[in-house]
Amino acid sequence: MEGENCTEVLQFLLLGLSDDPRLQRLIFAMFLFMYLVTILGNLLIILASSSDSHLHTPMYFFLSNLSFVDICFTSTIVPKMLVNIQTQSKDISYIQCLIQAYFFMVLAGMDNLLLGIMAYDRFVAICHPLNYTIIMNSQFSSLLVLISWIIVLTDSMLHVLLIKQLNFSRVTEIPHFFCELTEILKVARSDTLINNIIVYVSTALLGVFPASGIIFSYVQIVSSLSKMSSAVSKYKAFSTCVSHLCVVCLFYGTTLGVYLSSAVTHSSHGSTVASVMYTVVTPMLNPFIYSLRNKDVKGALGRLIRAGCYS
């Protein structure tokens, strides 16, 4: 048979970014550096938010969750890639590939939903300031995050169960550095119509819907700011949104860039290289964006570092 049932597949091969040994050493060093910076930066954000009473607000609760998701996001992809480069191997077992694809979908979906929730939080804070503490209480904030986890866990499991119904060659090459859903579907030996339909539905649910919510929230925020008479009040209100806006632009800009480059060039390698931006670079830059653009976070990080030095 040309294709065999997925349970009989021995391995997938991740072709990675390059076969050049010299370039692979550079890639290894670069990805290791970015991974360590990502872990350290996001851990500092989590520690600062949890240890400083000034940051015990919904805004920083969501930021801590985003940092946790970013740590898990890169940890799902980068360690396996580094091991493969170090051992000069491209192998990933079928089960490992499904697990990696599952957690990648879960965490990418959570990134989208958390950015949407954070936009809603800013909308309530600026457009309904008198009711902010009533609307965005700790129970409601926790419920939003919990519902988001339930949605992405369920959605991702559906994708994995559908993938298990597909047939693959005994040795399947994936032209990517991790097991990405659309790349897996491209190399399947059986019909993927149902899978692709579910992908489009999920994209609308976990991508378009949060993005639309973000756009709506900021349209309302801009409208409210335009009605403020004081320029100082406008600046203070909008300054709380700047970090979030930068992260949103970085995340959606890089993600959109991947799919546009893939559509324009029709090159798997070009899309693979572009994927580095939203899978590795964006989670690394998020802590810097929030710490550099936010006085509260900078103050909390300073107190945390001083406490560590004196302990």
Give the architecture (CATH level 2) of 4-310.
Up-down Bundle (1.20)
- The band of 98, judged by pLDDT with boundaries at 50, 70 and 90, is very high
Q: Classify residue 16 as left (phi > 0), alpha (psi -120 to 50) or beta.
A: left
DSSP for 58-80 reads HHHHHHHHHHHHHHHHHHHHHHH
Give the pLDDT score at 265.
56
- The band of 263, judged by pLDDT with boundaries at 50, 70 and 90, is low
Instruction: Judge residue 24's burial from the number of C-beta atoms within 10 Å of its C-beta, 0-12 exposed, 13-18 middle, 19 or more buried.
Output: middle
Q: pLDDT tens-digit profile of 158-211?
A: 999 999 999 888 888 888 889 989 889 989 988 999 999 999 999 888 888 999
Nearest-angstrom CA–CA distance, 20 and 33: 20
DSSP reduced 3-state for 131: helix
Give the pLDDT score at 4.
47
DSSP lists the bridge partners of residue 91 as: 13
Work out the number of other CB atoms within 10 angstroms of the CB of residue 13. Answer: 16
- The band of 50, judged by pLDDT with boundaries at 50, 70 and 90, is confident
Q: Specify the pTM.
A: 0.88
Give the pLDDT score at 278.
81
DSSP lists the bridge partners of residue 4 as: 168
- The band of 273, judged by pLDDT with boundaries at 50, 70 and 90, is confident
Give the pLDDT score at 2.
44
- String of b and e for 37-46 (b: at least 16 CB within 10 Å)? bbbebbebbb
- Mean pLDDT of all residues in 42-52: 88
Choice between 233 and 118, residue whose per-residue pLDDT is larger: 118
What average pLDDT is seen over the chain? Answer: 85
- The band of 124, judged by pLDDT with boundaries at 50, 70 and 90, is very high
H or E segment and range at residue 173: strand 171-174
Choice between 247 and 37, residue whose per-residue pLDDT is larger: 37
